[in-house]
Amino acid sequence: MDTSPFQRQRRHLLAEMNVVPYIDVMLVLLVIFMITAPMLTQGLKVELPEVAAETLSVDSAEPFIVSIKADGSYWLKEGSADPIRLPLTALSERLMTSQQAQPQRQVLINGDKNVPYGDVVKLMSALQEAHILRVGLLTEPPTTP
Q: Which domains does the chain have, with CATH numbers?
A: 64-137 (3.30.420.270)
41-87 pLDDT, tens digit per residue, is: 555 566 656 666 666 565 557 888 888 988 888 998 887 788 889 99
What is the 3-class SS of the chain, one letter each residue?
Answer: CCCCCCCCCCCCCCCCCCCHHHHHHHHHHHHHHHHHHHHHCCCCCCCCCECCCCCCCCCCCCCEEEEECCCCCEEEEECCCCCEEECHHHHHHHHHHHHHHCCCCCEEEEECCCCCHHHHHHHHHHHHHCCCCCEEECCECCCCC
Return d(Cα 108, Cα 67) in angstroms, integer.
Answer: 8
Neighbouring C-beta atoms of residue 64, cutoff 10 Å:
23
Overall pTM surpassing 0.85 (yes/no): no
87-136 pLDDT, tens digit per residue, is: 988 988 888 888 888 877 888 888 888 888 888 888 888 888 888 878 88
CA 23, chain centre distance (Å): 29
Neighbouring C-beta atoms of residue 29, cutoff 10 Å:
10
Count CA atoms within 13 Å of residue 29 on its CB side: 6
Does 144 have pLDDT greater than 90?
A: no
Angle between helix axes 88-101 and 117-129 (nearest 10 degrees) is 40
Q: Is 131 exposed, middle or buried (0-12, 13-18, 19+ CB in 10 A)?
A: exposed
